[in-house]
């Protein structure tokens, strides 16, 4: 497969051993831009995404001018970038200063195709609660961020919590030092009653509070999308009906804040807190965190050391432009990160590896089986990790076209054991061979056990800023 609706696809120099048809997004994009520049028919294009609070983020690129024979590739090139930006930054309104015909195709894609409608519904209705729009205009709003950065506030008596799919982690923190931590098993995914979730959260907070002289602030993390402490999309509540989600879940953390005397309170995506924790531990910024677990999670710390209002939902971002690539089971789109950096990715590669693993097992059990083979140095298992490592190298180069990166933090169950080293070695090999400038710039990191235990809780606890006047009164 060497073309996608007019967009040339470039075979990688280092081919994933179990996926000969992998066509990296980064190579297609870079080759397309180079062809545009050498054609003499350049159309400078700006894409801007607007969030509900007015925050607007810009991305500039180049496409072929209308009428050029290779302009047929413009749509897929731009559509894949818009898809990436929607899940990287977030936004309900997309501005484009491009040709009207290109705008019409994008409008039709998001209004009529199953994958486009999925993105439009999540971004518009679910996250930002606005009608999703594609606006073609020469008057694109100026770039601006309307919200202050979060994190790195270690003063006072704080509670940090992390809500996972199998356990709740909570810590009491005094001036940056953990004085109490606890991990409690729970099963939130398919619970239909929101009171189950609320009771569990309140119980953990209360236990942490018993180890503090007072509670000055509470910060938390969980999988999903949270905007101004409101739940927009979250797997923790997948068992709750749509009606109860609207009535009880959307404002659950505002209710929790009220129950704790309205102390400064912040909850954000767990990937963001993971990246922040890594940045604080490493004492480095420009960090992209990539967690390979049940799905693929991500978080980003800017060169200035801040986390932002961006979504950083890596699982939905395209990394493979082969239209016949594996499709995400939720959105139905092809080549998205979840099929390359998660337990699902491992399961996808098992048949090609030749490993004998029961196909009826769930993703976690399949991963455990592969890890067991890897512990015995099985070459078939090693090929799975080699393939993921190759994927990762090309994906990191792709991410670097959109994020200012110097550090990549790798974690998650897929990376545990011997396979994790193979993944990192594979990614580094790709960068050295195909992207030597990035190999010099980007450093890979793996958190140690201490960071895994306490780093997330400290980072979560550091999210809210304590008003000085309130603290003096307390």
Nearest 5°: phi and psi at 61?
-155, -170
How high is the mean pLDDT of the chain?
93
pLDDT recorded at residue 330:
86
Whether the per-residue pLDDT at 258 is higher than 90: the answer is: yes
pLDDT recorded at residue 473:
44
Contact predicate 99/66, CB 8 Å:
yes
Contact predicate 221/458, CB 8 Å:
no
> Which residues are CB-contacts of 93 (< 8 A; sequence separation ≥ 6)?
49, 50, 130, 132, 133, 135
pLDDT recorded at residue 470:
46
Whether the per-residue pLDDT at 471 is higher than 80: the answer is: no
Whether the per-residue pLDDT at 295 is higher than 70: the answer is: yes
pLDDT recorded at residue 245:
95
The domain limits of the chain are 3-136, 150-474
> What whole-number distance in Å separates Cα of residue 109 and Cα of residue 132?
12
Query: What tens digit of pLDDT does each residue of 179-198 get?
Result: 999 989 999 988 999 999 99
Instruction: Give 270's pLDDT tier (boundaries 50, 70, 90).
Output: confident
pLDDT recorded at residue 166:
78
- Give the lowest-confidence range in 74-88, 143-157, 279-293, 420-434: 143-157
Whether the per-residue pLDDT at 472 is higher than 70: the answer is: no
> What whole-number distance in Å separates Cα of residue 299 and Cα of residue 288?
6
Whether the per-residue pLDDT at 74 is higher than 70: the answer is: yes
Query: What tens digit of pLDDT does each residue of 3-39 get?
Result: 999 999 999 999 999 999 999 999 999 999 999 999 9
Contact predicate 195/241, CB 8 Å:
no
Residue of 273, 274, 315 lying closest to 297 (CA atoms)? 315
> What whole-number distance in Å separates Cα of residue 157 and Cα of residue 474?
11
Query: What tens digit of pLDDT does each residue of 306-338 get?
Result: 888 899 999 999 999 999 999 998 899 999 999
pLDDT recorded at residue 39:
93
pLDDT recorded at residue 147:
57
pLDDT recorded at residue 301:
93
Degrees (nearest 5) of the Cα angle 315, 316, 318?
Answer: 105
Contact predicate 5/75, CB 8 Å:
yes
Query: What tens digit of pLDDT does each residue of 136-169 get?
Result: 999 999 999 865 667 899 999 999 999 987 788 9
Degrees (nearest 5) of the Cα angle 119, 334, 412?
Answer: 85
Q: Which residue has the higher pLDDT, 236 or 147?
A: 236
How many residues does this entry show for the chain?
A: 474
C-alpha distances out from residue 350 to 163, 196, 318, 361, 371, Å: 30, 37, 22, 12, 12
Mean pLDDT of 73-96: 98
Whether the per-residue pLDDT at 115 is higher than 80: the answer is: yes
Whether the per-residue pLDDT at 201 is higher than 70: the answer is: yes
Nearest 5°: phi and psi at 130?
-140, 155
* Choices 3.40.50.300, 2.40.110.10, 3.30.420.40, 3.40.50.20: CATH for 150-474: 3.30.420.40
Mean pLDDT of 248-259: 97
């Amino acid at each position: 497969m060497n073309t996608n609706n007019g967009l040339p696809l470039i075979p990688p120099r280092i081919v994933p051993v179990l996926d000969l048809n992998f066509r990296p997004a980064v190579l297609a994009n870079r080759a397309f831009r180079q062809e545009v520049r050498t054609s003499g028919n350049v159309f400078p294009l700006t894409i801007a995404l607007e969030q509900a609070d007015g925050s607007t983020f810009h991305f500039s690129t180049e496409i072929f001018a209308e009428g050029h024979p290779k302009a047929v590739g413009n749509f897929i090139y731009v559509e894949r970038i818009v898809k990436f930006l929607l899940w990287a930054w977030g936004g309900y309104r997309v501005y484009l200063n491009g040709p009207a015909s290109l705008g019409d195709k994008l409008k039709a894609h998001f209004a009529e195709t199953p994958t486009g409608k999925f993105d439009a519904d999540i971004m518009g209705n679910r996250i930002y609660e606005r009608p999703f729009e594609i606006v073609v205009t020469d008057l694109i709003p100026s770039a601006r961020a309307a919200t202050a950065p979060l994190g790195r506030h270690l003063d006072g008596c704080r509670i940090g919590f992390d809500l996972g799919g199998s356990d709740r982690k909570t810590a009491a923190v005094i001036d940056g030092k953990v004085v109490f931590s606890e991990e409690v098993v729970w099963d939130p995914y398919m619970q239909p009653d929101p009171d189950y979730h609320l009771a569990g959260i309140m119980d953990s907070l209360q236990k942490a509070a018993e180890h503090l002289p007072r509670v000055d602030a509470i910060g938390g993390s969980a999988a999903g999308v949270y905007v101004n402490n409101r739940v927009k999309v979250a797997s923790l509540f997948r068992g709750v009906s749509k009606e109860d989600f609207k009535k009880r879940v959307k404002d659950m953390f505002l209710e929790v804040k009220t129950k704790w005397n309205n102390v400064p309170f912040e909850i954000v995506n767990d990937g963001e807190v993971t990246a922040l924790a890594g940045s604080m531990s490493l004492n480095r910024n420009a960090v992209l965190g990539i967690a390979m677990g049940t799905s693929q999670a991500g978080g980003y710390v800017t060169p200035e050391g801040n986390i932002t209002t961006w979504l950083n939902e890596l699982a939905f971002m395209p990394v493979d432009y082969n239209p016949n690539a594996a499709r995400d089971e939720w959105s139905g789109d092809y080549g998205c990160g979840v099929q390359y950096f998660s337990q699902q990715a491992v399961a996808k590669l098992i048949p090609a590896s030749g490993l004998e693993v029961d196909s009826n097992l769930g993703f976690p059990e399949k991963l455990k089986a592969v890890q067991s083979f890897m512990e015995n140095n099985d070459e078939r298992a090693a090929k799975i990790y080699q393939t993921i490592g190759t994927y990762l190298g090309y994906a990191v180069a792709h991410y670097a076209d959109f994020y200012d990166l110097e550090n990549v933090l790798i974690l998650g169950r897929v990376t545990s054991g011997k396979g994790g080293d193979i993944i990192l070695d594979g990614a580094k090999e790709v960068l050295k061979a195909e992207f030597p400038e990035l190999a010099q710039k980007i450093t890979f990191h793996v958190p140690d056990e201490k960071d895994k235990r306490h780093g997330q809780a400290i980072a979560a606890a550091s999210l809210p800023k304590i008003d000085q006047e309130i603290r003096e009164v307390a």
